[in-house]
Amino acid sequence: MTQTISIVKVVGYERIKTEHADDVVGFVERLVMQPEPSRGFGYLKDADRLDLSVEALVAERFRDQFSKEVVRMAETRLRENGYEPELAGSEPGLQLTPGSTFVVQVEVGHAGALTLRLA
């Protein structure tokens, strides 16, 4: 059984959208604060796609949703693995304007495997 969590960003207004937002924030905080990176983080590192990691979402897109300690841990883990976090909107190709939205879906499969998708 899998559970899909949607994280929605609207420029100028950010929120985590789910029926159990506290559960999602808590899950992400526990994942980031683990002493060792998750298996999914390793898969994304191997694929050179740490930009899709939960840590990157915390450090770059949703930093105001988490404590400074969680953001700092996400940034540290990314840097230790060769990825420099960027602030939202700093990518040259990013074309977000007020009212723009995008959705990141995090799917937690059996055995704790994570799948991230931009929709």
Q: Which two tokens stand for residue 48?
A: 């050179």
Q: What is the pLDDT of residue 11?
A: 41
Let me know: does 28 contact 50? Beta carbons within 8 Å: no
Q: Which domain holds residue 25?
A: 3-118
Let me know: does 53 contact 61? Beta carbons within 8 Å: no
How many domains in the chain?
1
Q: What is the pLDDT of residue 95?
A: 54
Q: What is the pLDDT of residue 62?
A: 87
Block means of pLDDT (10 residues each) for the chain, length 119 residues? 47 44 79 92 92 92 89 96 78 55 72 68
Q: What is the pLDDT of residue 21?
A: 53
